[in-house]
Structure 1
Amino acid sequence: MPGLELACHYYTASRHNVGGDFYDVFSLPDGRWAFFLGDVCGHGAPAAALTSLTRYTLRSAAAHDPGPITVLTELNTALLDDPVARYRFATVVFGVLDPDPEQADTFTVTLGTGGHEAPLKIVARAAGDGCDVTEVRAATTGMLVGAVPDAEFAVCRVRLEAGQALLLHTDGLTETAVDDGRFGGEGLVRLLTRARTASAHSIVGSTVARIDEFAPAPKDDIALLALRVPPSSG
């Protein structure tokens, strides 16, 4: 994606049972770019089939109208209309990136959420002593996708400037049990706050390193997607 760093990772909880986490990044017909990350309920072949339908529908819907609410609404309809998928649902974050025409190295990200955990905005401190981490959250998280007709989804916008990053993840990360409790959103924020750099690869790398330390190992798949505007060379 021009003007952005990307990094991703997929942690597989089981070699014998297919999970339902997914992500994608793709160009739009108007020259902009879109991305999504999500999780369908269940495991095994039914989850894999639902994941395939979800990814295809998101791409297809975005090709003719990339508005996040419109895209999630079309996915909701597709899942409810499918005779197999109608008994399952998904959580999804869908985003569109718009370069700022008046300021280089700056993007406006429009996010639509359907029942998914909030992405995290990560900004490295100028002093080099860690990062500031905040949730990118609308008034609500939106409703699950594919659960009910006429579902309502949430939308919000975030500005990404040079050196700033966005991390999307599935709940296999935050729901993992560590030290007789959950790793949780608080654990993830603490981890990222200690990072010395906010590059996409370092964000994903430090998160994967923490996942590898979990004991017991996560019981659910984990998907990670990081997007970062590199620091200005000027």
Structure 2
Amino acid sequence: MAEQLTDVDGVGESKAETLREAGYETVEDLKRASQDELAETENVGKALAARIKADVGGLEVEETEEEFVEEEEEEEGEVAEVVSAASLSDKTPELDDETRDALDKRAAQNNPSFKRQDHHKKKRVSADSWRKLRGNNSKRRKNIKGKGAEVGIGYGKPAEARGLHPSGFEEVLVHRPEDLDDVDADTQAVRIGGSVGGRKRERIEERALDEEVRVLNPTHVEGEE
């Protein structure tokens, strides 16, 4: 049973704030309200009102399945457009000149791909599972030309840009809306964990939009790249 407004099906943080402004402070307030009253609330609509009443109990207005699906798809389309804005894809961090120059230098670097020695001799050995070279007779360890590049200090990235996203933001991994509490929107961007479900992802993106925090892996919206 839902205990908070954000626990109700279809209600994210922004919708919860809309409901609170309309006078629905608790889940009990939603139970006492009729579906028509909820539908007349600004930015709620019939589809979301039906979802709310179905979740908290007391679904009253009968609709054909086809009408309900059409309205729900329309409502979900509106939510998807709002969520897409949460990516704030054009937003850039506040960087000093030294960090910005370091990012430009890092982007201009064209380092080779470091492959594991003799990976082609055994199928079970991945080319990308690099290991430090230790063999006394290793020609690559001796830096003999044509035997492949070996990891060295000369290939290092600028220290000022190390660990930063190409946009310049510091990445913060989040799994729930509360993880945004300590995020600095001016210098940090969030990446939503791969194990986060769709409903919680929507709540995270809605809150990120409200707080103008950039989401590096927002929900894909058809028509966008």
TM range (shorter): under 0.3
Greater percentage in strand = 1
Greater percentage in helix = 2
The structure with higher relative contact order (CA 8 Å, sep 6+) is: 1
Q: TM-score, normalised to structure 1's length?
A: 0.22
Which structure: larger Rg? 2
